[in-house]
Amino acid sequence: GWCSRNNNSELIMADYRTEKGTIIQTLASDLAANAANEGITWYNSTSGLYKVVVDTGGDSYAVQTITTS
């Protein structure tokens, strides 16, 4: 997959464009953490961080930061 976790449970991003064939969108704020946005990855231009909406179990979702190193 394009995303995995390191030993600190941080999300690590592979080459997203190579894996998914698309460019990540740039947004000024985070998307809502909900089922409709699950799996969407973006670059938050305000924080300077890559983000993704993940399913945290049950009906819960969260925005998580993706580390690039």
pTM of the predicted model as reported, rounded to 2 decimal places:
0.68
Please provide residue 39's backbone torsions phi and psi, each rounded to the nearest 5 degrees: 85, -10
Show the DSSP H helices in the chain as ranges. Answer: 16-20
Predicted local distance difference test score (pLDDT) of residue 1: 45
Output the pLDDT for position 18. 53
State residue 67's pLDDT score: 82
Coil, helix or strand at residue 14: coil
> How buried is residue 53: exposed, middle or buried, by Cβ count under 10 Å (0-12/13-18/19+)?
buried
- If you ran DSSP here, which 8-state letter would residue 46 be given? T
Predicted confidence at residue 24, as pLDDT, reads 80
The single residue listed with the structure tokens 């990540």 is 24
Would you give per-residue pLDDT tens digits along the chain (69 residues)? 455 555 655 555 555 555 555 678 899 999 999 999 999 999 999 999 999 999 999 999 999 998 866
Residues 6+ apart with CB under 8 A from 36: none
